[in-house]
Amino acid sequence: MISMELGFVTAILPELSLREILQFASAEGFKCVEVMCWPVGKAERRYAGVTHLDVTAFGPGEANSVHELTAKYNVAISSLGYYPNPLCADPAERDKYAEHIGKVIKASSNLGIGRMTTFVGRDHLKSIEENWSLFQSVWKPLVELAEEHNVRIGIENCPMLFSNDEWPGGKNLAVSPEIWHRMFDTIPSKHFGLNFDPSHLVWQQIDYVRALQDFRDRIVHVHAKDDKTVADLLYRRGVLGLGWHIPKLPGFGDVNWGQFFSALTDIEYRGPVCVEVEDRAFEYSIEGRKQALRQSYQYLRQFVC
């Protein structure tokens, strides 16, 4: 890849088949998509439970079909995505998640994509310290599996702390540079990295430009989402509260995208940048969500084309 490629996360279009998604992406100018690979079934939360590729029985035939589609529409698959909570309190659930992550890794390898994107998860009722040994026991074997299949795992840096039932810890440990350092000290493999999303850093007041420099070797995948602080709610609740910031399309929030892409060029990142739509102002219909992708494309191509 000689430069960055603009794509989107398929979770926002659950009604469409993979073929329809690639067709839409192609028509709108996107060069890649991050394909959702949840197990077939009911979603457990907003934006989850979407299956654009069923990895549970994925062999050479399925791979060929996918390759034909991506070739036909000239749109690449940037990564296979699946975002459960692999450190949740229930051991049976954890095993189920880890097993499916393994399948996604193998499918990514079979397809020659080389990237798998997810959360590390967290037992949200416990402290970071109390989660650490569980983190280690769950993730060491998964990263080893990824190494064997030459797939890089990109952990999204999302706190998963938006509502009272995710309070206090959120459902994903990987939220800050301090924790990322600890993660990579514990599991130093180069196949373990970040799915870097600046929208989660801007409201945590973490300098995403410095973070890109400090973790330049760990950037596996990039999400383009924005987030804005609602001044009146911040006044009422303060940073210890919930809900005082909302996800927005790129350009409609507090991220400085010029500086963000400038830093991406400085660290010589040449990989996918996928728009993730979670802006409720555009979710009234599938047309609205498609419009959200078009709009994001128009905004972002001033920085990546």
Contact between 287 and its own copies by CB under 8 A: the answer reads yes
Quote the CA–CA distance of 145 and 138 in Å, as a whole number: 12
The window from 5-13, 66-74, 168-176, 186-194 that contacts its own copies (CB under 8 A) reads 168-176
Contact between 217 and its own copies by CB under 8 A: the answer reads no
Kindly provide the b/e burial profile for residues 265-300, where b requires at least 16 CB atoms within 10 angstroms of the residue's own CB.
eeeebebbbbbbbbbeebeeeeeebbebbebbbebb
Indicate which single residue of 40, 57, 92, 305 sits in contact with its own copies (rule: CB under 8 A): 305
Binding to its own copies (CB under 8 A) within 85-144 occurs at: 127, 129
Indicate which single residue of 203, 212, 215, 276 sits in contact with its own copies (rule: CB under 8 A): 203
Q: How many CB atoms lie within 10 A of CB 28?
A: 16
The window from 17-25, 78-86, 108-116, 290-298 that contacts its own copies (CB under 8 A) reads 290-298
Nearest Cα residue to 77 out of 46, 100, 101, 110: 110
CB of 236 to its own copies, least distance (A): 4
> Residue 114 or residue 288: which is nearer to its own copies going by CB?
288
Q: Phi first, then psi: what are they for 7, rounded to 5°?
A: -140, -165
- Identify whether the C-beta of residue 80 lies closer than 8 Å to the C-beta of residue 55: yes
- Identify whether the C-beta of residue 268 lies closer than 8 Å to the C-beta of residue 278: no
CB of 71 to its own copies, least distance (A): 22
> Residue 38 or residue 303: which is nearer to its own copies going by CB?
303
> Residue 39 or residue 177: which is nearer to its own copies going by CB?
177
* E strand spans, 4-114: 5-9, 32-36, 76-81
Which helix H or strand E contains 139, and what residues bound it? Answer: helix 128-148
Quote the CA–CA distance of 45 and 130 in Å, as a whole number: 25
Per rule CB under 8 A, count of chain residues that contact its own copies: 61
Q: What is the binding site for its own copies (CB under 8 A)?
A: 2-3, 127, 129, 159, 161, 164, 167-170, 175-178, 201, 203-207, 210-211, 228, 234-241, 248-249, 251-253, 258-259, 261-262, 265-266, 268, 279, 281-282, 284-285, 287-288, 291, 294-295, 298-299, 301-305
